[in-house]
Every structure is written in structure tokens, then in C-alpha cells.
Amino acid sequence: MDDIELTGDEHLRALAALEAVVGNDDAALVVLAGGAGERPLPELLAAYGKHTLERILLAAFGITAATGGTEMGERLGELNGDPQARITFLLADAWRHQAAAAGADLATAKYIGMSVLMGVHAFTDADESDALTLLRALRNEVLQSG
């Protein structure tokens, strides 16, 4: 797993886009499409999805910043050998390729966003209303850390 660097603003933009996807708000996606110097929305959502699902996997396997030495190696070995984790890595790679082919296409951004939400749902069992609560909590976390 390679860490994807996302700025606080990118986190907030991705979260707003996911909220727009949940609400089927295409007008909001147009506003969030970004401008010069910003990642196209499909690329941003693919990066955010990868970042988020990797964090979920790390937590599921008990890997934290405090995990070290032999224990870290063992847990990373378990994670890398887990079929669900490998499918998650494949899914994130597919999002990256889809985003690269899409450029700034908002319909593709919406599909990637839906898929990111389904990926989070697969790990958390959050339904659509829970997804909004989760997105708000993630936004608050970004705001508090910035």
C-alpha cells in the first residue's frame, strides 16, 4: 500500500462530492468539478476511495502508528494475504484507471463515487443514511486536524 497524499481541502472536496453522490445532486458535482491546478473529480474520488479503504483495512488488521517490529510484519503479511484486502487493492487500482481514462467527466466521477460508497458499505454495513453520518464525521475529523 502506498499512501496517497491528499490535502485537507482535497479531503473536504471529496467528501462534499460523495455527499452529492448520495443526494444525487448533479449540480453540486458541477460546482465541485474543480478548476485549474486541482485534481479532476474522478481522479480525486479514486484517490480518496483508495485512501479511505486502505485506512479501513489497516484498522481491521489492527495496524496503527504504534504497531512496530515483528508485529507490524506479521500483520502486514496477514493483510497482504487476505483475499478481501487483495480485492480491495484491485478495486482501488480499477478506480485509478477509470479516472485516468475519464479525465474530468462528471458522470464517471459519480460512478466512482458510488463505488467508493459501496466499498465503504462493504466494510461498515453503513446504509445510505449512515453514509451521510459517516461522511459528516470524516469531514469533522479533517476540520479538527487542520
Per-residue pLDDT tens, the chain, 146 aa: give them. 666 689 999 999 999 999 999 999 999 999 999 888 899 999 999 999 999 899 889 888 999 889 988 999 999 999 999 999 999 999 999 999 999 999 999 999 999 999 999 888 888 776 666 777 877 887 888 888 86
Query: For the whole model, what pTM was predicted?
Result: 0.89
Helix residue spans in 4-40 (DSSP H): 8-22, 26-31
Quick one: cell of 53?
479503504
57 contacts: CB under 8 Å, gap ≥ 6: 1, 79, 85, 88, 123
Where along the chain do its domains lie?
Answer: 8-145
